[in-house]
């Protein structure tokens, strides 16, 4: 089976609580290779563009405010079945519904401050990776 790439974000709440290392450790222990990473402060324009599909939803302004409230770590992860396996590793968006041992169950504060983002399909992963990384930054 071929290697696949997916996109991940360690969100502001997890960065503020010094969980970058713990989350990266879980990712690597699950067999993922970090192909690219960078820490950055999203601008309002970047956050609005990244979450553009949610622009008409009531939660959009709060989501953007949250995502620009502190630094984030953006990642390209690689392994076989990367998208599906990363989604399983992070758990459901609502941490109260996430399985024990998943990143969101163990580290999320609530539905919005849920520690991490993960692409939901290969097409989203490709689009999200290209949003933050140029090809020469991915190893």
Q: What is the pLDDT of residues 4-29, one digit of tens each?
A: 999 999 999 999 999 999 999 999 99
54-98: per-residue pLDDT in tens?
999 999 999 999 999 999 999 999 999 999 999 999 999 999 999
Question: Does 6 carry a binding-site annotation?
Answer: no
The residue from 18, 54, 105, 117 that is catalytic is 117
Question: Does 33 carry a binding-site annotation?
Answer: no
CATH (domain of 47): 3.30.70.141
Q: Which residues contact 103 (CB under 8 A, 6 or more apart)?
A: 23, 26, 89, 90, 91, 115, 116
Q: Do the domain assignments include residue 23?
A: yes
pLDDT at 1 over 80: no
Q: Do the domain assignments include residue 138?
A: no
Model pTM score: 0.96
117 a catalytic residue: yes
Closest CA to 20 of 65, 62, 67, 71: 71
Question: Does 114 carry a binding-site annotation?
Answer: yes
Q: CB-side exposure of 110: number of CA atoms within 13 Å?
A: 3
Q: Do the domain assignments include residue 84?
A: yes
The pLDDT assigned to 2 comes to: 85
pLDDT at 102 over 90: yes
- State the DSSP H helix or E strand holding residue 82, giving kind and residue range, or none if neither: helix 82-90
Q: Do the domain assignments include residue 93?
A: yes
Q: Do the domain assignments include residue 16?
A: yes
Q: Do the domain assignments include residue 112?
A: yes
Task: Kindly write down the DSSP assignment for every residue of 2-44, as one continuous string.
Answer: -EEEEEEEE-HHHHHTT-HHHHHHHHHHTT-EEEEEEEE---H
The pLDDT assigned to 118 comes to: 98
Q: Is 51 exposed, middle or buried (0-12, 13-18, 19+ CB in 10 A)?
A: middle
Domains contained in the chain, number: 1
Full domain range(s) for residue 47: 3-133
Structure-token match 């503020």, residue found: 16
116-133: per-residue pLDDT in tens?
999 999 999 999 999 999
Q: Which residues contact 91 (CB under 8 A, 6 or more apart)?
A: 97, 98, 99, 102, 103, 104, 105
Phi-psi region of 81 (alpha: psi -120 to 50; beta: other; left: phi over 0): left
């Amino acid at each position: 089976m071929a290697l696949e790439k997916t996109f991940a974000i360690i969100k502001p709440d997890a960065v503020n609580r010094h969980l970058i290392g713990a989350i990266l450790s879980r990712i690597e222990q699950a067999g993922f290779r970090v192909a690219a990473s960078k820490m950055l402060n999203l601008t309002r324009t970047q956050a609005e563009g990244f979450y553009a599909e949610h622009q008409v939803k009531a939660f959009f302004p709060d989501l953007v405010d949250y995502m620009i409230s502190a630094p984030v770590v953006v990642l390209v992860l690689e392994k076989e079945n990367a998208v599906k396996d990363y989604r399983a590793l992070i758990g459901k968006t609502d941490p109260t519904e996430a399985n024990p041992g998943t990143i969101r169950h163990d580290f999320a504060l609530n539905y919005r401050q849920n520690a991490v983002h993960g692409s939901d399909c290969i097409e989203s992963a490709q689009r999200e990776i290209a949003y933050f990384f140029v090809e020469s930054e991915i190893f």
